[in-house]
Structure 1
Amino acid sequence: MSSPDRPERHDPIYDHLAAKDEFAQLRHLYRRFIIPATVVFLGWYALYVVMSMFASDFMNHILFGNINVALVFGLLQFVSTFGIAFLYSRYSNTYLDPLATQLREEYDAELAGRTAPGKTEV
């Protein structure tokens, strides 16, 4: 949204690339990972909170020494966070980065062609 202090700016090259099927595919592939991963992680976190609130006997169950179920659940939150980050990195390298690189190269090429010596910027 524009304001008097910050007028809207449009980049015709970006607008052109955003209309391409590859850009739509990139957004689709991104959402295909992010939405389920977010739902799973938030569900897992909600389970931890709900179990801590309503199943305190289970969460206080001692597994060994001073280690109880709640502590293991809490530590597994860190493990799941790093696991999701690792999986996202692999997914991104395989599916997202090639498309993003292609689109960036097209953008750079069109930008270089638009601002080549002797041409005026639009």
Structure 2
Amino acid sequence: MTTREHDASVYEQVQESSEFQDLKRRFRAWTFPMTVAFLVWYLLYVVLSGWARDFMGIKLLGEINVGLVFGLLQFVSTFLIAWAYSRHAERKLDPIADKLRHEVEEKTQ
């Protein structure tokens, strides 16, 4: 068996392991719902901007209207999602990924 074949075999074993499957499940369980929620929030903003102009034009404070606040909240929500994912990955994903990486490194040396 060549080194390349051995390495491929190791990666296949890791991919089939319960730990790797758990890592994928944890990643998807957080990422897919958050992606859907963000896309719904973004599309709501776009739809309201196009079809609810009166609502989006309501002035809240001086020249600041609902549309401007919603637009700024798009940026805020993007940063909050990135921060939340970072925390999620650090606590739930990275420990498993680090363990798997060390196992692969040991087997491929």
TM-score by length of 2: 0.92
Separation in 2 of the partners of 1:83 and 1:64? 25
Separation in 2 of the partners of 1:108 and 1:77? 41
In the TM superposition, what is the alpha-carbon distance from 1:15 to its structure 2 partner?
0.5
Separation in 2 of the partners of 1:31 and 1:23? 12
2:22 aligned residue: 25
1:16 aligned residue: 13
Q: Which amino acid aligns with 1:34?
A: T
1:79 equivalent in alignment to 2:79: no
Q: Which amino acid aligns with 1:103?
A: L
Unaligned runs of 5+ in 2: none
Alignment coverage as a number of residue pairs: 104
1:110 aligned residue: 107
Larger C-alpha radius of gyration, 1 or 2? Answer: 1
In the TM superposition, what is the alpha-carbon distance from 1:54 to its structure 2 partner?
1.2
Separation in 2 of the partners of 1:73 and 1:17? 44
Unaligned runs of 5+ in 1: 1-8, 113-122
1:60 equivalent in alignment to 2:57: yes
TM-score by length of 1: 0.83
1:25-50, CA deviations, whole angstroms, 9 ceiling, x for partnerless residues?
A: 00000001100110000000011011
Separation in 1 of the partners of 2:17 and 2:44? 41
2:96 aligned residue: 99
Separation in 2 of the partners of 1:110 and 1:80? 42
In the TM superposition, what is the alpha-carbon distance from 1:65 to its structure 2 partner?
1.4
In the TM superposition, what is the alpha-carbon distance from 1:12 to its structure 2 partner?
1.1
Report the structure, 1 or 2, having the larger helix content.
2
Separation in 2 of the partners of 1:19 and 1:75? 44
In the TM superposition, what is the alpha-carbon distance from 1:53 to its structure 2 partner?
1.1
